[in-house]
Amino acid sequence: MLIIRGVNLFPTQIEELILKHAALAPHYQLEVTRPKNLDELAVLVERAPGAGGADGDAAGAKLAQLVKSLIGVTIEVRVVQSGGIERSIGKAKRVVDKRPKA
């Protein structure tokens, strides 16, 4: 579970919304940063094979809108090419925390 700006967020909630879009592949990664004083969340998601660039970008914008309306967190969605997210041999690494350590 992540806490982003006071909102409890489970990675599976994001995954559920990604799976609703045919133009997006189920490979994603959540990137948490703190550029200033507040945490920010970016979702890197792969474009589905066979999906056009415009389809993937539109699905990414729709995903950001759904997360804001259903979960209550503003996110940045970056749609990358198929194979653009690192694969692991074992368990998938879904969350990358780039916040400074206290």
Distance CA 30, CA 33 (A): 10
Q: Which domains does the chain have, with CATH numbers?
A: 10-28+45-81 (3.30.300.30)
pTM, full prediction: 0.88
For the record, the structure tokens of 90 come out as 């074992």
pLDDT digits (tens, 9 = 90+) for 38-56: 999 999 999 988 877 788 8
> In the predicted model, is pLDDT for residue 102 greater than 80?
no
pLDDT score recorded for residue 51: 78
pLDDT score recorded for residue 54: 80
Side chain identity at residue 29, one-letter code: Q
Give the residue from 42, 40, 43, 44 showing the smallest Cα distance to 5.
Answer: 40
Distance CA 17, CA 64 (A): 10
pLDDT score recorded for residue 80: 92
Residue 28 gets which letter from DSSP?
A: E
pLDDT score recorded for residue 55: 84
For the record, the structure tokens of 64 come out as 């950001």
Q: Which of 40-44, 82-86, 88-92 has the highest mean pLDDT?
A: 40-44
Buried/exposed code over 20-44 (b: 16+ C-beta within 10 A; e: otherwise): ebebbbebbbbbbbeeeeebbbebb
